[in-house]
Amino acid sequence: MTLRQLEVFLAIAREKSFSLAAKRIHLSQPTASEHMQELEAELGTTLFTRRGRAIALTEAGRVFETYAARIMSDIADARQAVTELDGLKRGSLLIGASTTPGIYLLPGLIGQFRSRHPGIELRLDIANSRIIEERVRANELDLGVVGGHELARGESCLAAGLVDELVLVVPPHHPWARRRDIAPTVLAEQPLLVREEGSATRRVMERSLAHAGVKYTVRMELGHTEAIEQAVIAGLGVAFVSVYAVNGEVATGRLAALRLRGLPIRRHFHVIHNDGRALGASARAFLQHLDTVRSKPPGLPPSQKG
């Protein structure tokens, strides 16, 4: 039994596909299949059921998955412990982030961190919140940065000091464009553009509006914040987006932003971690860096305040 076989097994268990798993860990599909044949021969049982293209874990596979994940987590911890012998002169850190913090907030913070710790190899993976949460639970990320997160069993929130606000954006020619705010009741008059299921931005928006009893009509679902911004500019509807994402567009007049009167929609970006995995020195240093930069979200440009 080899570590490579365990890596292949866990990738297939997650992706539920030999081809997707092979692509993810940079192997050919025949090589991945060969690893699984050898592993199943070693264990004397089948780990996956295969019905056409559908892949699922057998009972033995589900049992084995727990131990395989633990072994790979211990290996990652061992490697991190070795790198810590040099303090922070070298190390590695894999961070996953949902779309808004990953694109609009973290790159600048990571740049500052790298200038302080140039020997730490840092990688940032971006996906929607649901995927990042799943990867943290699967021990595939050292840290995850997501918005509006509810902790699952085995997770801990290590930091929640980065604050975001969702603002309502409209095209510059819109009747609301020169307004500071609107009554929540009139939101139903306009078609609303929303992010895809699994997006924390959508989850926070839906929760806040439902709690306040605000009615709205969804016209279109889009899979990326920038796609929503372009759709708003094109006049397809209005949308709630992070102030971090649209501050530049509002400043240049390509979009206008306003708030619902008496209903601020704010959230914290949470830094989450799998409790089953030791927190390495590089991760601890990154958390300390975040402690020094926690702040309120940027305000809207002056033209949008009055």
What is the mean predicted confidence (pLDDT) over 236-251?
A: 92
The rounded mean pLDDT for the chain is 87
**All CATH 3.40.190.10 domain ranges in the chain, comma separated:** 83-161+268-299, 163-266
How far apart are alpha carbons 261 and 43 in whole angstroms? 63
Fold classification of 3-72 (topology level): Arc Repressor Mutant, subunit A (1.10.10)
Q: What is the pLDDT of residues 42-70, one digit of tens each?
A: 999 999 998 777 889 999 999 999 999 98
* Cβ(278)–Cβ(78) below 8 Å: no
Residue 306 has a pLDDT of 43
- Is residue 304 over pLDDT 80? no
- Taking every pair of Cα atoms in the chain, the longest distance, rounded to a whole number of angstroms, is 72
Q: Which CATH architecture has domain 163-266?
A: 3-Layer(aba) Sandwich (3.40)
Fold of the domain spanning 83-161+268-299 = D-Maltodextrin-Binding Protein; domain 2 (3.40.190)
Choose among 302, 296, 297, 201: nearest CA to 250.
302
CB atoms inside a 10 Å sphere around CB 176: 19
How large is the angle between the packed helices 59-83 and 3-15, nearest 10 degrees? Answer: 120
**DSSP symbol at 104:** I
In the chain, which segments carry CATH 1.10.10.10?
A: 3-72
How many whole angstroms separate alpha carbon 13 and alpha carbon 180? Answer: 50
CA dist 246 and 171 (Å) reads 12
With cut-offs at 50, 70 and 90, classify the pLDDT of residue 305. very low
Contact 249, 172 (CB under 8 A): no
